[in-house]
Amino acid sequence: GESVGLHLPTLSVQEGDNSIINCAYSNSASDYFIWYKQESGKGPQFIIDIRSNMDKRQGQRVTVLLNKTVKHLSLQIAATQPGDSAVYFCAETPSGSARQLTFGSGTQLTVLP
């Protein structure tokens, strides 16, 4: 039968290890990218953003890398903690779009004790 819903990629890491979550985007006109974290029953929570004139940006325990050549975005989480367990979405938007975000399909991160 027809598959309903998305089968999320999953990533399991040991507590304390680093996590890398990847995202491919398709719109060459996108110039602003955001990573969101979504815990069960909650809305997307902003983690970090990056503009297309940069290829790396660091926050607290998180780093976003942007490779415009291959349209690839990654989120690195250092010293992953149990509270980091969630679904992580990348979102993109082209300039002049009044911030109409296009979300990726998400990655389920599970932190193992």
Partner 1 sequence: EPEVTQTPSHQVTQMGQEVILHCVPISNHLYFYWYRQILGQKVEFLVSFYNNEISEKSEIFDDQFSVERPDGSNFTLKIRSTKLEDSAMYFCASTTSGEASPLHFGNGTRLTVT
Residues that bind partner 1 (CB under 8 A): 4-6, 32, 34, 36, 41-46, 49, 51, 89, 91, 95, 97-106
In 1-113 the beta strands, taken as DSSP E runs, fall at 10-14, 19-24, 30-38, 45-51, 56-58, 62-67, 72-77, 86-94, 102-103, 107-112
Q: Are strands 86-94 and 102-103 parallel, antiparallel or unpaired?
A: antiparallel
Nearer to partner 1, 84 or 106 (CB): 106
Cβ proximity to partner 1, 44 vs 77, nearer residue: 44
The Cα–Cα gap between 53 and 51 comes to 6
Residue 13 or residue 32: which is nearer to partner 1 going by CB? 32
Give min distance, CB of 26 to partner 1, in A: 13
For the record, the structure tokens of 78 come out as 């250092």
Give least dist CB 56 to partner 1, A. Answer: 16
- Minimum Å gap between C-beta 16 and partner 1 is 27
